């Protein structure tokens, strides 16, 4: 279903419920599954829909309201431009890289109609808010975006790969020295439904402290 670009959100100062029991939301979380990048294709959300998805993504935990994240939305010919950045950086770093690997890097942004780079942008807070908390907030934004896409009917994949960790790539796309990419979120339509994978057993991951 198309996501409403004008979906209302509460105004600052509005009293909100501490909990909103919703079986549909719980079922959505229980069934959420990333769609592999190779299974994504056109169409993708419009600019208005992307903005609406990002507005929902930003409703993430954010200690002291620092907003330590931002987005770079790559679509249309912008994907070609980003692919050329990836290819140029690989060529410069690895002069012996094969033409095939260079072309694979060039095509990375082309795997989906929309790529959103979620940028972790920590703030130097005089109150001492740890950078780690701010980076976790950026991760929460990524997950919110994944859930929003799923609920709105779009397939999505949260990836990093080597470009997310390369400082030359970061500089080329306008990141400051303190910023880093939390993830590239690929958004589009699934060629086929992804298959569920094994999930962890809660018993192996939970430690209980009680009387």
pLDDT at 6 over 90: no
pLDDT band at 37 (very low <50, low <70, confident <90, very high): very high
> What's the start-to-end Cα distance of the chain, in Å?
48
What is the average pLDDT across 23-27?
Answer: 97
Query: Nearest to residue 100, comparing CAs of 87, 84, 85?
Result: 87
What is the average pLDDT across 28-51?
Answer: 97
Query: Nearest to residue 61, comparing CAs of 133, 158, 146, 157?
Result: 133
Strand runs labelled E in the chain: 40-41, 69-75, 114-120, 155-159, 180-190
Which of helix, strand or coil describes residue 69? strand
Q: Are 53 and 7 in contact (CB under 8 A)?
A: no
**Residue ranges covered by each domain of the chain:** 45-191
pLDDT band at 165 (very low <50, low <70, confident <90, very high): very high
**CA–CA distance, 17 with 148 (Å, rounded to integer):** 20
pLDDT at 75 over 80: yes
Which of helix, strand or coil describes residue 207? coil
Give the pair of three-digit tokens for residue 203: 């018993």
129 to 59, 69, 140, 181: CA distances (angstroms): 19, 14, 17, 20
Query: Nearest to residue 138, comparing CAs of 179, 78, 97?
Result: 179
Which of helix, strand or coil describes residue 203? helix
pLDDT at 1 over 60: no
pLDDT band at 152 (very low <50, low <70, confident <90, very high): very high
Q: Which residues, other chains included, contact 59 with Cβ-Cβ below 8 Å and sequence gap of 6+?
A: 9, 144
pLDDT band at 145 (very low <50, low <70, confident <90, very high): very high
Please, what CATH class does the domain formed by 45-191 belong to? Answer: alpha beta
Residue 184 DSSP code = E
pLDDT band at 9 (very low <50, low <70, confident <90, very high): confident
Which of helix, strand or coil describes residue 188? strand
Q: pTM score, two decimals?
A: 0.95
pLDDT band at 5 (very low <50, low <70, confident <90, very high): low
């Amino acid at each position: 279903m198309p996501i409403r670009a004008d979906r209302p959100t509460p105004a600052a100062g509005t009293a909100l419920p501490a909990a909103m029991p919703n079986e549909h939301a719980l079922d959505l979380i229980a069934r959420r599954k990333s769609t592999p990048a190779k299974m994504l294709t056109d169409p993708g959300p419009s600019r208005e829909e992307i903005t609406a998805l990002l507005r929902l993504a930003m409703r993430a935990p954010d200690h002291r309201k620092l907003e330590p994240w931002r987005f770079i939305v790559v679509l249309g010919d912008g994907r070609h431009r980003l692919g050329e950045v990836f290819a140029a950086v690989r060529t410069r770093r690895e002069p012996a890289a094969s033409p095939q690997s260079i072309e694979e890097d060039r095509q990375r942004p082309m795997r989906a109609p929309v790529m959103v780079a979620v940028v972790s942008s920590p703030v130097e807070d005089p109150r001492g808010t740890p950078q780690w908390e701010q980076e976790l907030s950026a991760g929460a934004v990524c997950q919110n975006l994944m859930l929003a896409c799923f609920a709105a009917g779009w397939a999505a994949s949260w990836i990093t790969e080597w470009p997310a960790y390369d400082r030359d790539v970061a500089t080329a796309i306008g990141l400051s020295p303190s910023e880093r990419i939390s993830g590239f979120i690929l958004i589009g339509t699934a060629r086929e439904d992804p298959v569920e994978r094994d999930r962890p057993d809660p018993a192996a991951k939970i430690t209980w402290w009680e009387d």
